[in-house]
Amino acid sequence: MNCIKIILLLCISSCFGQQTVISSVDAGGATTSVNNVRLVYSIGENTNREVSNGFHISEGFISARFKITLNPVVFLQGPLVNPETADLMNDALRVNNYIPTTSPYADNATVNASVFSVTGNNAIVDWVWVELRAENDTTKIIASQSAFVQRDGDVVGLDGISSLLLNAPPGNHYVVIKHRNHLGVMSSNPIALSRDTTTVVNFTDSSFSTFGANAQIQFPSTTTALWAGNVNGDTVIQYSGTNPDVPSILAEVLNDSGNFLNFPTYVINGYNVHDVNMDGKTQYTGTEPDSPLILQNVLAHPGNFLNFSTYQIQEQLPEN
């Protein structure tokens, strides 16, 4: 019956050339996928359906939204210091219920606290920020959003499990991962991304090529991780000098409202950008201080030939 009505409509259309037929044939429609393009269509429906993925055709309007599926893998150096389990980042922030349900990044994404109940390899370590950049302009951000990184490095969506779904057309894009107190990183090449195939982009593999030089810290194994220690919100890690990070930790500790006696050994518990190793404690000096890792990174950096404590580890992104 529906087919007859549709054929009738097509006949009318073809007989009279282009015209608008204000007529509801029937409620119907279907979905089809060709390569990366998903087409959702309805015929004669007098409703305005919103479809989040692929094409949507309704009442003469044609709109297209594209998404791509992505599984970045990244390690943060901080929670890899003294790992409780080899090759897994520590998840002390999660264990102590310190990870906020609102993202610390620009989109202020929110989640239900239940995403932090998962333990083991897929437990959430922290929020990260993911960007896709244009193939022909590495400073042009075409999509960006908050995400989570798991203990094993998987960067996942806001349910803490699924691959990332980003609002971007299928194609070749640069992938950027940023973290609130680590230096960000970008793939050195645009990567072919699509909706139907989840593309793994493994920043933890030292053979994976990143933009710039020494964009990540190289471990004795073939593992790489984002440099830890950028606690003052700029684009460098510096121990001492013009824009050092370590005094920022000291100031944070001394100015804490609970530090009545201004001890430099005072420990601030909680989610804090100055907590370099992300153990849930911010300490300048003492039993578990956060500042030595910054000095260690600066001195160990392959570009710091003369071992200057004033050396700046520059974030390797095109805009810096």
Footprint on this chain of Ca ion (rule: CB under 5 A): 122, 150, 152, 154, 230, 232, 234, 236, 245, 275, 277, 279, 281, 290
Pick the closer one to Ca ion by CB: 40 or 276: 276
Measured CA to CA, the distance from residue 266 to residue 231 in angstroms comes to 18
Pick the closer one to Ca ion by CB: 56 or 274: 274
| Least spacing, CB of residue 296 vs Ca ion, in Å | 14
At 115, the amino acid letter reads V
| Least spacing, CB of residue 312 vs Ca ion, in Å | 8
| Least spacing, CB of residue 253 vs Ca ion, in Å | 11
Tell me which residue has its CB nearest to Ca ion: 154
* Whether the Cβ atoms of residue 59 and residue 158 lie closer than 8 Å to each other: no
Scanning the structure block, which residue is given the tokens 């933890």?
204
Pick the closer one to Ca ion by CB: 42 or 248: 248
Pick the closer one to Ca ion by CB: 131 or 154: 154
CA angle 75, 271, 93 (to 5 degrees): 55
* Whether the Cβ atoms of residue 225 and residue 219 lie closer than 8 Å to each other: yes
* Whether the Cβ atoms of residue 168 and residue 157 lie closer than 8 Å to each other: no
Pick the closer one to Ca ion by CB: 142 or 161: 161
| Least spacing, CB of residue 27 vs Ca ion, in Å | 42
Q: What DSSP element (H or E) covers 286? A: none
Pick the closer one to Ca ion by CB: 135 or 152: 152
Pick the closer one to Ca ion by CB: 36 or 150: 150
- Scored b (16 or more CB within 10 A) or e, 125-145 reads bbbbbbbbbbeeebeeebbbb
| Least spacing, CB of residue 9 vs Ca ion, in Å | 50
Strand order in the sheet with 68-73: 164-166, 68-73, 199-202
| Least spacing, CB of residue 277 vs Ca ion, in Å | 4
* Whether the Cβ atoms of residue 149 and residue 76 lie closer than 8 Å to each other: yes
Choose among 261, 237, 153: nearest CA to 249.
237
User: What 3-state DSSP class applies to 300?
Assistant: helix
| Least spacing, CB of residue 184 vs Ca ion, in Å | 12
